[in-house]
Amino acid sequence: MQALAAIGPDAAAATGGLVARLAEEKDADVIRGILDACGEIGPGAREAVPALVGQLASPDAETRLAAVSALGEMGPAAAATAAGPVAALLQDADALVRVAAVG
């Protein structure tokens, strides 16, 4: 995932594979790596938005933080799908997640 994140927007073609891996992955560190890669790809990873929104409900605060950060990096490409779920994080138990939700 680090290599895809480093490639950034030019790695948009890998988004489908990242989404598929995210659906199967159980390890929180790998999940956060996938989220980070999607964020670094940016708007080109818009097909990942629903999967990233799903991670906003993770019981792991670091995963929620990574998901909201990735969605923020996608900007308007994520807005329509993510705005409501991200706004709900303003009530999150974790202060860092709340701050990230504000932007």
Q: 3-class secondary structure for 13-65?
A: HHHHHHHHHHHHCCCHHHHHHHHHHHHHHHHHHHHHHHHHHHHCCCCCHHHHH
Question: Where in the chain are the domains?
Answer: 2-102
Q: Is the pLDDT score of 4 beyond 70?
A: yes
Residue 1: which pLDDT band, with cuts at 50, 70 and 90? Answer: low
Q: Is the pLDDT score of 55 beyond 70?
A: yes
Q: Tell me what pLDDT residue 63 has.
A: 98
